[in-house]
Structure 1
């Protein structure tokens, strides 16, 4: 078994970071995600919200892996989350449902309100392979390496959604306005957008957004001018 953990600090408060995390699909940094569907949602007696989502992801097997053991490079995952709005904590567990003998992946993510109105994300992953044939350690090492790379892209996707949420609070949007994208294309290439940390807070909803804000960049990315 291989184990990896990492913590990360967002400069935004817990509410907006948690919202961005659950809205992260689709985004151009997660083109390997084919679908994401809610299959159950309930409010517990203590006031927390439990949600189960079914996610289909596309992946590439390494060249050295015997192709006859995996019929397709796609995998179903189940994501089980619980949101505690009173304690300001999100717990999320994701695990794969198929190809378990080749690789079993279990990811635990926690978002917790930190000091100075910031948010702490702690991620843990356990990767286990029961494949054998002298490839167990190689498969587990490959899984950890891929997870680390995807973790960085996942944060970039969350940062993109955070920027979109900030911009949506700064400028009015008319219903049915076709000039503003409501859903990001699932398989479009990632735009070049700087993801510097934001220390400012927006208390005035009437403030005018920057001329080259995220919405403008997204519009230019989706509908480039000729």
Structure 2
């Protein structure tokens, strides 16, 4: 069975500022588990959309139940992030998916950053995630992962907010 997460976060910055900050959101004190990020490819497609693929390495920084110790032997999780930044439509969409530890669990996340229709000086991020474990006792793992994901989704947004405030990204000229 698949567990799902849906959430929104409002950034008190315009879309251009948030889109600029998206590219420099690590390191930050809310995402210390992100060990590294590397750009694998970046291009502009036929629709004038910036397409970027990054590799994120995240350290497993959570404690697991004793019964799961023998199944969770990895220290790091490798994640692919694909993003599509459309400066004309003012949307930034990112998809992240772990490509390691899939025998235990797969998490696919989609984040869409758009202008707040009620306030053009703010940006709304809508997040959704699908969590699946192929194991026989997978529903317990999925429930555990969903709980962790909810907590980390808020921390990820707080981390980007921190970056936007700390480095005053609104002084940047470019955004994609």
Output the TM-score relative to the length of structure 1: 0.70
CA distance change for structure 1 residues 167 and 109 in 2, over 3 Å: closer, same or farther?
closer
Distance (whole Å) between structure 2 residues aligned to residue 3 and residue 70 of structure 1: 22
Q: How does 1:1-226 map to 2 (within 5 A)?
A: 1-59=2-60, 60-115=62-117, 116-117=119-120, 118-132=122-136, 135-166=137-168, 169=171
TM-score of the aligned structures, taking structure 2 as reference length: 0.89
Contact 1:61–1:73 under 8 Å retained in 2:
no
Larger RCO (CA under 8 A, 6+ residues apart): 2
1:49-99 Cα offsets, whole Å, 9 max, x none, are: 000000110113512343233332311000000000000001100000011
Distance 2:167 2:32 in 1: 21
Query: Residue 167 of structure 2: SS of its match in structure 1?
Result: helix
Query: Tell me, what secondary structure is at the counterpart of 1:68?
Result: coil
Structure-2 separation of matches of 1:10 and 1:168: 12
Unmatched 5+ stretches in structure 1: 170-226
Structure showing greater Rg: 1
Structure 1 runs of 4+ with >4 Å offset: none
Residues 125-147 of structure 1, C-alpha deviation per residue, up to 9 Å, x if partnerless?
00000111xx2111000000000
CA distance 1:81–1:167, change in 2 (3 Å)? closer
Between the aligned partners of 1:109 and 1:167, the Cα distance in structure 2 is: 20
Give the Cα–Cα distance (whole angstroms) in 1 for the partners of residues 170 and 10 of structure 2.
Answer: 23
